[in-house]
Structure 1
Amino acid sequence: MNRKWWHGKVAYQVYPKSFCDSNGDGIGDLKGIISKLDYLKDLGVDIIWLSPCYVSPLADQGYDIADYYRIDPRFGTMADMDELITEAKKRDIGILMDLVVNHCSDEHEWFKKACADPNGRYGKFFYIEKRRPDGSLPCNWRSCFGGPVWDKLPGHEDLYYLHTFHKKQPDLNWENPDLREEVYKMMNWWLDKGLAGFRIDAIINIKKVLPFKDYPADRSDGLSSINNMLSEQTGIGAFLGEMRDRTFKLHNSFSVGEVFNERPEEIPEFIGDDGYFSSMFDFSETVFGRSPLGSYADSGITPDDYKRCVFQTQRRIGDIGMISNIIENHDESRGVSRYIPEEDVTPTSKKMLAALYFLLKGLPWIYQGQEIGMENISFDSIDEVDDISTLDGYKVARAAGLSEKEALRAVEKSSRDNARTPFQWDGSENAGFTTGKPWLRVNPNYTEINLADQRNDPDSVFNFYRQLTRLRKNPDYQETFTYGELVPYLEDRHNVMAYLRKSESQCILVMGNYQKEPQTLPLPSAPKKILLNNLHDLKIDGGCVALDGYQVIVAEL
């Protein structure tokens, strides 16, 4: 693996709307982020990914972009963005913007011009079709937010446009070189401003199987999951390679792809030394247990399931490139609420989960609030839900026969609103996020879980994350944690997740007891030094270690 400037870094995702509100309007903003840069530096962050803050009607919370060259006034001004980039650089922090180019907003100038002249230049920026001779839609794909991917083109009774996601997110036609030129021009404009790179949204969706065709229906609505099309799709490399060469390579910038459905043989093409991206996220444990019937039918994930998913990815990637490791993001529920049994969620178990994922081979990503152990929120009514994906999931659950209460409980677990509740800075009103009315309800547990309380507590989840970032960057161990091999240990032991990080001159054991009952486990060799322990006590005797419930240790052997 060729060594790159971003290897060994720690990354952090900011969801601007919910991070820090500087002006009391209830919405987080860029000035709020600037005010917290020293906090993020102290945490150990080197790269910040901002979820979209471009001009947007917020049909999908900013992932529907109406102007790629302007900051939405809700979040501030372009001068604020320039200041954020500059101030972050002073602290050796790089800023990533979210690159959303599978689709734009139906309020983007391109789409308005396409509606005015479907046969003109901008009409070819989108997929615009007539119904088939038998009167059916051009294909039976289901959008990611429910319903057909086709909607009537405004102003035209006989024309339809494609939207993989919300109907206010028309898909861009990447088959059109004119469209691609506009995208690259925009990307380079941002990179020239000093961005460190991009997180790339829904990028696998830019290539469609053409001509449009039906797939077998997989629900009672007669539609087919768009994933059926994506699994058959080929040829996306031509687009991704061109984008890399025309943008990222020119600036030596960092790029991380939201990549689903990649085939094992394609991994070198995606994140190898000359890959399309610098890195891509590991979603294997994220998608585990998802049901094609809808979120109401999703199964949970056990500690052993989680371990298998993680180790399968580590084997799949090997030394090809750098995977990006997460336990949550803006599209998922809170990691501690998903990967730890509900009755066992404590500061101790949160710290165990943190160590197990953070010290894997690859880049560790922290999502805002994760570092203080923020948890899922409960809904009293579907009317409290903002997320369009959760609202669709609720409808699907009700149609499947679940009661209102059952449907609410079912979609609550996976709702994207769980990760979008405001950051819990302190125990004051609205968790210190805003002096106004927050755009989304604050989790009521903010009086027990907040940064102010944890900052001065050496045993807090927050300070454990600080220890993790410092351990990864410690000159004595950085080489091993960044480039060292990962070797699973006691892989078949129930409710144990353990692995070795090995370099030529060093071997480090990461071992977690993934249950509330104690376990006594054999050590591969005698520990030379205990680098990290989420509890105060440790019992080692005769080549074995006795771990209490959810205890995790990191030891140099």
Structure 2
Amino acid sequence: MKKQWWHEKVAYQIYPKSFMDSNGDGIGDIQGIISKLDYLEKLGIDILWISPVFQSPMVDNGYDISDYYAIDPMFGTMDDMDQLITEAKKKNISILMDLVVNHCSSEHPWFQEAMKNPEGPYGEFFYIKDGKDGKAPTNWRSYFGGSVWEKLPGHDNKFYLHSFAKEQPDLNWENPLVREKIYEMICWWLEKGLGGFRIDAIMNIKKDLTWENLPADGPDGMADVYKVSQRVSGIEKFLMEMKERCFDPYDAFSIGEAMFLKEDNIKNFIGENGYFSSIFAFEPCHAYRKGKNYKEYVWPQPFKEWREETFHNQKIIGNTGFEANIIENHDQPRGASLFIPEEDYGFHSISALATILMCQRGLPFLYQGQEIGMCNRRWKLSEFDDLETMSQYQVAVEAGYSSNQALEICRHHSRDNARTPMQWNDKEYAGFTAGIPWLPVNENYKEINVEKQEVQYGSVLNFYRRLIAFRKSEKYKEILTYGDFKPLYQEEESIFAYTRELEEKKLVLICNFSGQPAEITLTEDYENVIFVNYQQTTMIGKKLQMKPYEVVVLE
């Protein structure tokens, strides 16, 4: 495998609206991020992915972009963005922006022009179709519920396609001029010094141009739009063109939000000449998703399925490329709540989860607050901000769940859990803002915050710092980056274990991911215990006596 500049790095996602507010308006901003670069450097972060800060009406928290060449005033200015890129480079931190090019905002000038004249050139920038007797052209259901088709304002029988919210019209990638405009924009940003992009919803850019109905999968007679991307071919042309035109000339890091990939297609996406540098390993952390709606999700994460999905993912990826390993992001509940039963939450369970993640093959990708063990909030219905959450609440109620049951389901699974303000200290609003935060702070901020954990050697924060330093150490970075991954003790009830092997070197991770003690019989002799989350490891002969949520790395 050809070595790349990003292989030995550790990445971190920032949801800017909730990270740090520098001006007291209750909304995180770019200057707030700049003020915390020292913190991120000390943590050991090399790559910083920043969720959308482009100009936007904020219908979907910035994933509806009205100007790709402007920073939204709520986050700051273009000068602020330039300063962030410059200051981050001084600390050897590469900045990634969130590239949203499946759709734009309905307030984007392109769509405004398309509404005026759908038969004109900007009408071809979108998918605008005649209806069937005044009804939608197809029965496709959007990701946020309801039809993907919305009537074009001012036109009786014309509809435009939106895979997400109606304020997010899909861009027509079949139009070469649209692609050219997108590539120009990407290169403009890379010229500014960006390290690359995370590419949002990219698997949706290829449509089924037959515009045929899909078999209904619900009582509304509709079918989920994601099924369209699974039945069409041709996306390869678009992705390779974007790679060759934009990413290759700048040696940019690109990470795609690519789901539902078939095994034989992985090399095309992240192989030696793949479309992207990496893709996210969603399957392991989505093991709890047993259906398409919150009400069908399992809580907490089922251990065996998570372990099996991790091992399967590692097997099919092999040495083909590098996935980005995650336990949480802005679209999921908090990992410390999802993976760990509430009664087991604490230093040892959180540090065990962190070590399992960080020692796998692939690029470790943290999410803001993960490094201090931030967890889900106890919500009231009126406090939710997320469109998806409100839609899922209605789905549960309409399915017969009581309002309290539906609320509890949403408390577990809402994306708002990951979007509560970062907890910096125990002062008002967790030190996030001098104003009123746009989203409520988690009630536990007085106990769980950066300032408190900074001074505690045995805190989750300082454990993460040691863990990242261990992964990047001269002695172990090669094996932890490039070493083969092999599962161990798969027959054990609560043991998550694997080896990392490179040439003559071998490391073994064994974790008792359970609130009960466990005993493991070692099959080999090991010279050293090199990383732990308890002060003492107990080994009697070949038997490893493991305490609840104990993790050890052996050499």
TM-score scaled by length of structure 2: 0.98
Distance 1:317 1:14 in 2: 27
Q: Deviations over 1:102-133 (max 9, x none)?
A: 0000000110011011111111010000112x
Q: How many Å apart are 1:228 and its aligned residue?
A: 2.1
Distance 1:127 1:288 in 2: 34
Q: How many Å apart are 1:16 and its aligned residue?
A: 0.4
- What corresponds to 1:460 in structure 2? 459
Q: How many Å apart are 1:291 and its aligned residue?
A: 4.3
SS in 1 for 2:7: coil
- CA 1:293–1:359 in structure 2 vs 1: closer, same or farther (change >3 Å)? closer
Residue 529 (structure 1) aligned with residue 528 (structure 2) = yes
- What corresponds to 1:503 in structure 2? 502
Q: How many Å apart are 1:413 and its aligned residue?
A: 1.0
SS in 2 for 1:413: helix
- What corresponds to 1:366 in structure 2? 366
* Aligned alpha-carbon RMSD (Å): 1.0
Query: How many positions carry a matched residue from both structures?
Result: 554
Q: How many Å apart are 1:500 and its aligned residue?
A: 0.5
Distance 1:262 1:305 in 2: 19
Q: Deviations over 1:351-374 (max 9, x none)?
A: 000000111000000100000000
Q: How many Å apart are 1:528 and its aligned residue?
A: 1.8
Distance 2:462 2:553 in 1: 16
Q: How many Å apart are 1:135 and its aligned residue?
A: 4.6
SS in 2 for 1:151: strand
Q: How many Å apart are 1:537 and its aligned residue?
A: 1.7
Q: How many Å apart are 1:230 and its aligned residue?
A: 2.2
- What corresponds to 2:260 in structure 1? 261
Identity %: 50
Q: Deviations over 1:317-346 (max 9, x none)?
A: 000001100000001100111111222111
TM-score scaled by length of structure 1: 0.98
- What corresponds to 1:149 in structure 2? 148
Q: How many Å apart are 1:505 and its aligned residue?
A: 2.6
Residue 228 (structure 1) aligned with residue 227 (structure 2) = yes
Q: How many Å apart are 1:213 and its aligned residue?
A: 1.1
Residue 481 (structure 1) aligned with residue 480 (structure 2) = yes
Q: What pairs up with 1:383-398 in 2 under 5 angstroms?
A: 383-398=382-397
SS in 2 for 1:391: helix
Distance 2:229 2:523 in 1: 43
Q: What pairs up with 1:35-434 in 2 under 5 angstroms?
A: 35-132=35-132, 135-292=134-291, 294-300=293-299, 301-380=301-380, 382-434=381-433
Q: How many Å apart are 1:67 and its aligned residue?
A: 0.4
After alignment, is 187-196 or 498-507 more displaced?
A: 498-507
Name the aligned partner's letter for residue 349 of structure 1. Answer: S
Equivalent pair of 1:344/1:516 in contact (CA under 8 Å): yes
Q: Deviations over 1:467-505 (max 9, x none)?
A: 111011101011100100011111121111000111113
Equivalent pair of 2:287/2:302 in contact (CA under 8 Å): no
SS in 1 for 2:307: helix
Distance 1:155 1:196 in 2: 42
Equivalent pair of 2:134/2:157 in contact (CA under 8 Å): no
Q: Deviations over 1:197-254 (max 9, x none)?
A: 0000000000111211111111111111113222212211010000000000010010
Name the aligned partner's letter for residue 232 of structure 2. Answer: Q
Distance 1:42 1:538 in 2: 28
Q: Deviations over 1:18-50 (max 9, x none)?
A: 000001000000000000001000000000000
SS in 2 for 1:75: coil
Consecutive unaligned residues in structure 1, runs of 5 or more: none
Distance 1:511 1:291 in 2: 28
Name the aligned partner's letter for residue 205 of structure 2. Answer: I
Distance 1:289 1:135 in 2: 40
- CA 1:92–1:415 in structure 2 vs 1: closer, same or farther (change >3 Å)? same
Distance 1:128 1:165 in 2: 15
Structure 1 segments (4+ residues) deviating >6 Å: none
SS in 1 for 2:413: coil
Equivalent pair of 2:284/2:313 in contact (CA under 8 Å): no
Distance 2:268 2:217 in 1: 31
Equivalent pair of 1:303/1:340 in contact (CA under 8 Å): no
Distance 1:523 1:50 in 2: 43
Name the aligned partner's letter for residue 349 of structure 2. Answer: S
Name the aligned partner's letter for residue 137 of structure 1. Answer: A
